[in-house]
Amino acid sequence: MQNHISRRRFLELAAVSSGAALSAVKAMSQVPLRPLPVPELIDAASGVDAPVRLNLQQSRHDFGTGAASETLGINSSYLGPVVKVKTGQQVPFEVHNRIGEVSTLHWHGLHIPGDVDGGPHQEIEPGGTWRPEVPVAQPAATCWFHSHTHGRTARQTHGGLAGVMHIEDDASLSADLPKTYGVDDFTLVLQDKTFDAQGRMSYQLTGEVIENGFQGDQLVVNGALAPVGQTVPQGLVRLRILNACNARFLTLSLSGSQALNVIASDGGFLGSTFQTGTLEMSPGERYEVLLDMSQLEEAALMVSFSGNEGLGGWLGSILGRNGAQTALVLTRDPDRKGLTAALPDRLAILAPADPLSALRKREFSLNMGDGEELAALAANWGNVCGTAGGMGINGRPMKMDHVNLQMRKGEAEIWRIQADEQRHPFHIHGCSFRILQQDGAPPPGHASGWKDMVSVQEGWSEVLVRFDYPAAETSPFMYHCHILEHEDCGMMGQFTVG
Ligand code: C2O
Ligand code: CU
Ligand code: CU
């Protein structure tokens, strides 16, 4: 990796990048951009003869400010590798905890039994090792893994305990799609950070951070301050994008009013390519996007932050490009030929979600707050909000030894979710679901396929869900708000499947 860009240079870049116009992109290409960090690829898809080792470790990392920040990483100084696996495999992992405090590693988006899910009950003691055998049974998708240590998830994930998993299957491996890792198939982990005057990453769990979730002011891409740049061949380029922010909703767009060609969401491919000018991503969400770099010399991915408070999310998506920062600039190398296929119009067979298949409905209400009872319960139960307030679902904060619900394996249900205030990204373990409505309206095209995240703010959000894998009382699945501070503070519940 090339040397860090000076603070002054960084400010100049940031100034240039605040405009979304193509001319700005042109101006930017005159100066050397920070290169896009490409996470190490652990390719287990063609078989493994030894367990995949993931070392959770304490480290120091320069995000590009010139200073070393105290960080956590997985086999790395910050964040983790991309692990590629294939449907039908059973993948043995060895997760070593070297961070000096208890941790866990949850496989977000995987359809797996509760005892290998890596949730809050599968704690790895400091110095200890967790050896799950992870069955991969679902279609191709971009998933991820992160700390899920109850009361510490926000701090540990912000610190860097997160990585990406590519699930491939026969169809995805033979599809006419870019799939050469780091050449025309890129993984982007988007996060927001705050740096102190010395350029070191800072995180403080104040009352306000608990209430709104951590909201940084600087965009980082794969652990490097934006903007970053990458040269690509002439042809289709695939971006697998993860919003790994603790709490920020992100609105993505492309320079020059190019459309984003969305091909996959959390749980895998859409039925066909969905084109959109802006793409809003909640924390925890993944989308895959294609860019046709046979048509473009240069393209810039723009990202704007929105909070989850009040109308923030809604305003952010309306204002879209305003206040957008450049995340990534792709520059075409005219001498390299890539994949010159058309944008796919048929990606997967996606039957319409059938609400009539549901045997029952359940209602969830996400509670913030000031209820004395919630506060007292939260304080007693050791959630991070302490006496500052309480958060819960249906009036109860998460309690490690209380299982909230029992699900029946194989039975479809409709989960109706509503929220008191703010916008909350709701997540369910052990499944993918279909969104029937989000904030009281049908889901946008990019969110109408397989998902494990749904946003909840105004009106009801409804998902059609079914659990096909068992979870016992000792290793239940979670449902929770993916604003990690809310989760830690108790906006989470547990269920068994049997
Ligand atoms: Cu990504 Cu239960 O979390
Ligand atoms: Cu999860
Ligand atoms: Cu929340």
pLDDT above 50 (res 178)? yes
Q: With bands split at pLDDT 50, 70 and 90, how would you rate the model's confidence at 380?
A: low
Is pLDDT at 14 greater than 60 in this prediction? no
Average pLDDT, the chain: 90
CA of 485 to the centre of ligand 3 (A): 8
Q: For residue 387, what pLDDT is reported?
A: 55
C-beta atoms surrounding 498 within 10 Å: 12
Q: Which one of the ligands is nearest to 494 CA?
A: 1
Task: Kindly give the distance from the C-alpha atom of residue 2 to the centroid of ligand 2, in angstroms, as a whole number.
Answer: 35
Q: Ligand 3: distance of its center to the CA of 455 in Å? A: 10
Q: How far is the CA of 482 from the centre of ligand 1 (A)?
A: 7
Question: How far apart are alpha carbons 361 and 183 in whole angstroms?
Answer: 46
Looking up tokens 């609105």, which residue turns up?
251
Question: Could you tell me the domains of the chain?
Answer: 2-29+177-337 (2.60.40.420), 41-173 (2.60.40.420), 355-497 (2.60.40.420)
Length of the chain in terms of residues written: 498
- Provide the token pair at 456: 């909840």
Quick one: pLDDT at residue 15? 39
Q: What is the pLDDT of residues 399-442, one digit of tens each?
A: 899 999 999 999 999 999 999 778 999 999 999 999 999 999 99
CA distance 249 to 342: 31
66-94 mean pLDDT: 98
Instruction: Give me the pLDDT at residue 209, please.
Output: 86
3-class SS shares of the chain: helix, strand, coil, % to 5: 15, 40, 45
Q: Which ligand is nearest to the CA of 148?
A: 1
Relative orientation angle of helices 22-29 and 7-17, to the nearest 10 degrees: 160
Q: Which atom of ligand 1 is nearest to the CA of 492?
A: 2
Closest atom of ligand 1 to CA, residue 478: 2
pLDDT tens profile 261-274 = 999 999 999 999 99
Kindly give the distance from the C-alpha atom of residue 307 to the centroid of ligand 2, in angstroms, as a whole number: 22
Ligand that lies nearest to the alpha carbon of residue 487, given by its number in the listed order: 3
Closest Cα to atom 3 of ligand 1: 108
Average pLDDT (365-373) is: 75
User: Residues lining ligand 3 (ion), CB within 5 A?
Assistant: 424, 481, 483, 486
**Residue 376 pLDDT more than 90?**
no
Q: Ligand 1 atom closest to Cα of 487?
A: 2
SS3 323: coil
Q: How far apart are CA 100 and CA 35, in angstroms?
A: 32
Question: Quick one: which ligand is closest to 392's CA?
Answer: 3
Contact 112, 468 (CB under 8 A): no
Residue of 459, 467, 447 lying closest to 416 (CA atoms): 459
pLDDT tens column, 301-334: 999 998 665 444 444 444 443 478 999 999 999 9
For residue 146, the ligand 1 atom closest to its alpha carbon is 1
What phi and psi values does residue 362 have, to the nearest 5 degrees? Answer: -130, 150
pLDDT on residue 375 = 57
Determine contact, residues 397/377, Cβ cutoff 8 Å: yes
CB-based pocket (< 6 A), ligand 1: 106, 108, 146, 148, 284, 427, 429, 478, 480, 482
CA torsion angle 360 366 371 374 (round to 10): 80
CA gap 325, 301 in Å, rounded:
9
67 or 205: whose pLDDT is higher? 67
- Judge if the upstream peptide bond of residue 227 is cis by omega within 30 degrees of 0: yes
pLDDT for residue 22 is more than 50: no
- What is the share, in percent, of the chain residues with pLDDT greater than 90? 79
Average pLDDT over residues 379-393: 66
Residue 35 has pLDDT above 60, yes or no: yes
CA distance 390 to 373: 8
Output the CA 57–ligand 1 centroid distance in Å.
Answer: 20
Name, in order, each residue with C-beta under 8 angstroms of 415's C-beta and a sequence gap of 6 or more. Answer: 361, 362, 363, 364, 428, 433, 462, 463, 465, 479
Residue 108 CA: nearest ligand 1 atom is 1
Q: Averaged over 106-126, what is the pLDDT?
A: 98
Pairing of strands 162-168, 82-86: parallel
Between the CA of 81 and the centroid of ligand 3 the distance, in Å, is: 28
Ligand 3 centroid–CA 498 distance in Å is 28
